[in-house]
Structure 1
Amino acid sequence: MLRKFSILDLQYVKKVSLQDKNNKFKRKELMGRAFNFKGGEYLTTIGACWFVSYSYYKKIDSTHTNWQDVETWPDRVRTFQRTIEYHEYWLEQVLNMNDLKLNTNQIHLKASQVKQMAKILLKCKEQ
C-alpha cells in the first residue's frame, strides 16, 4: 500500500535536509579554522601532522608509514605535491604549534614526535 504524502510532510523533509546540509558546514567550521599563514588553507586540508609524517617518509625514512593511517591519503599526497613551495615554511610553523592540538592527529603520532621529525627535516634542508 502506497502512503500519500501531504504538503506538510514534504516541507518537513525539505527542512530537515536543509538543516543537515547546514550542520555539515557548521561541523566543518567547528573542526578548525585554516592556519593563518602562507598556504595555511592547504595545510589545513592535509593536516600538519600528516604533512610532517609524509615529508619524513619521502626525505628521511621510507619505512615510516603513519601517514597511510588515514583513508584520504591519496588526496593529501596530491595536495602535498602541488604545494612544494610552502613545505619548508610549514615545517618551521609546525615547531611553534600547540602540542595539545598536534596530539589530536589520526596517524598515531605524539606532538613531540611530529616536532622532532620537523626538526630533522629542517636540518636536512640546511645541508
Structure 2
Amino acid sequence: MSITSRINNFDRTSEYHYFWLTKVLDMQQLDKHKNFCGLESSEIIKMAATIIVKLLDKK
C-alpha cells in the first residue's frame, strides 16, 4: 500500500479515529489492561490527545 493510499484511508476514517481516541481519554483504568507495547496509561492518554489535536488541525 502506497503512502498516498494510507493517507487517503486515514483521512476517510478520521471521524472514526476521533471517536475512539476521545473514548481513550475517558478511560480511567488503562493500567489494569495489559498492552503489548509496555506503555503506561499516562503515555497512552498523552498520545491520544496529541493525535486528536492533529485531527482537529486538519479540519
Considering the TM-score relative to the shorter chain, is it more than 0.5? yes
Q: After superposition, what is the alpha-carbon deviation per residue over 1:72-98, rounded to whole angstroms, capped at 9, x for unaligned?
A: xxxxxxxxx7xx352110000000012
Matched residues, number: 43
Question: What residue ranges of structure 2 are gaps of 5+ in the alignment?
Answer: 1-9
| TM-score, length of structure 1 as denominator length | 0.31
TM superposition outliers: structure 1 runs of 4+ over 2 Å: none
Q: Which residue of 1 aligns with 2:50?
A: 120
Instruction: Say what the alpha-carbon RMSD is for the aligned residues.
Output: 1.7
- Identical aligned residues as a percent: 33
Greater RCO, CA 8 A, separation 6+: 2
Give the TM-score, by structure 2 length: 0.62
Unaligned runs of 5+ in 1: 1-80
